[in-house]
Amino acid sequence: MEMQNFDRWAKVYDLIYGTYDKDIDFYRKEARKSKGKVLEIACGTGRIYLELVKDGVDAYGIDISNKMLEILKKKAKELGLKPKVKKADMKSFSFNIKFSLIIIPFRSFLHNLTIEDQLKTLMNVRKHLKPKGKLILNFFYPNPEVFVKDMNKEIKEKIRVKDREYIKITKTSFADEVNQLLLVESKLKIKDKTYWRNKFKISFVYKREFELLLRLAGFKKWKVYGGFDYKSYKQEMVWIVER
Ligand SMILES: C[S@@+](CC[C@H](N)C(=O)[O-])C[C@H]1O[C@@H](n2cnc3c(N)ncnc32)[C@H](O)[C@@H]1O
């Protein structure tokens, strides 16, 4: 099976994550505050992006997967919205405009697997920000407890799709702690038939490491919070970075 196939993921993305909304208020509020053009990197099927457009934000989006963007566009059409999205890689996207805010929600920065790719992305982001623009992103805090408890074994989850319909997801994450990589294998079952399976790799990033990456990319000021409530550390690192 081909690795990193995001088109393949698109088929089931909304089934699995479509109703996740813990981050939406936060990004909506920040987008409103920015009062300018906003770019969402890795906008996927528009879970957050479409909420911003609905809210009147002048939002643009990029994603590497055409299939994800097709779904986003279909949803936009049904809502009577006009999305400004295009297929592009976060390492090399290019716009003639500069943004007040660039966001990379839902841990998508972790799709950069090497230091080179991480830096390319951050430098490209910085290039596309207005002088007082901000980069806001979140990814998980690599909690050693979680690594001990949940890695290298099957984690089963049941997701309710309709009133009495469930889908079963089995996820197995293999950790390469030295190289800070996770190989995630997912299997989705509907009525006990395997409906879909996929594999992908992500990296995990520590707080001080990301601070060094930000410095190398030319950023000088940032704040990091432990969640979308701007408070203490739980599971997530939420970064607000000034250009
Ligand atoms: C976890 S999803 C997030 C989607 C959306 N932002 C959300 O919050 O629901 C990750 C997305 O990253 C996209 N992606 C992965 N690598 C990328 C890259 N190098 N450049 C742009 N998008 C990428 C995938 O196609 C996928 O849509």
The reported pLDDT for the residue numbered 4 is 67
Residues 73 and 191 in one domain: no
Judge if the beta carbon of residue 118 lies within 6 A of ligand 1: no
Q: What is the pLDDT of residue 189?
A: 86
Q: Are residues 132 and 13 in the same domain?
A: yes
Residues 207-229, mean pLDDT to the nearest whole number: 96
Q: What tens digit of pLDDT does each residue of 67-112 get?
A: 999 999 999 999 999 999 999 999 999 999 999 999 999 999 999 9
Say if residue 129 is in the same domain as residue 34.
Answer: yes
Entry pTM? 0.96
- Whether 195 and 230 map to the same domain: the answer is no
The pLDDT assigned to 230 comes to 85
* Claim to verify: residue 102 and residue 151 sit in the same structural domain: no
What's the gap in Å between 63 CA and the centre of ligand 1? 6
Q: How far is the CA of 45 from the centre of ligand 1 (A)?
A: 9
The answer to the question of residue 86 being in a domain is yes
Residues 90 and 178 in one domain: no
Give me the pLDDT at residue 82, please. Answer: 97
Q: How far apart are the CA of 42 and the centre of ligand 1, in A?
A: 4
Residues 129 and 158 in one domain: no
Amino acid 25: pLDDT:
97
Both 181 and 167 in one domain: the answer is yes
Is a pLDDT exceeding 80 seen at residue 232?
no
Q: Is the pLDDT of residue 3 over 70?
A: no
Q: What CATH number is associated with residue 230? A: 3.40.50.150
Who has greater pLDDT, 234 or 88? 88
* Residue nearest (by alpha carbon) to ligand 1 atom 6: 43
Domain count along the chain: 2
Q: Supply the pLDDT for residue 233.
A: 64
| Domain-embedded: residue 1 | no
Output the 3-class SS for the chain.
CCCCCHHHHHHHHHHHHCCCCCCHHHHHHHHHHHCCCEEEECCCCCCCHHHHHHCCCCEEEEECCHHHHHHHHHHHHHHCCCCEEEECCCCCCCCCCCEEEEEECCCHHHHCCCHHHHHHHHHHHHHCEEEEEEEEEEEECCCHHHHHHHCCCEEEEEEEEECCEEEEEEEEEEEECCCCEEEEEEEEEECCEEEEEEEEEEECCCHHHHHHHHHHCCCCEEEEECCCCCCCCCCEEEEEEEC
**pLDDT (tens digit, 9 = 90+) per residue, 20-47?**
999 999 999 999 999 999 999 999 999 9
Percent share of the chain, pLDDT over 90:
81
Query: 71 CA distance to ligand 1 centroid (A)?
Result: 13
Residue 2 has pLDDT above 60, yes or no: no
Mutate to test the pocket of ligand 1, among 63, 106, 114, 117 (most ligand atoms within 8 A of CB): 63
Does ligand 1 come within 6 angstroms of the Cβ of 71?
Answer: no
CA-nearest residue, atom 10 of ligand 1 = 108
Nearest-atom number in ligand 1 for the CA of 117 is 19
Least confident of 11-20, 130-139, 227-236: 227-236
For residue 221, give its domain range.
6-141+205-242
- Contact 13 CB / ligand 1 (< 6 Å): no
Model pLDDT, residue 53: 98
Rounded average pLDDT over 220-226: 95
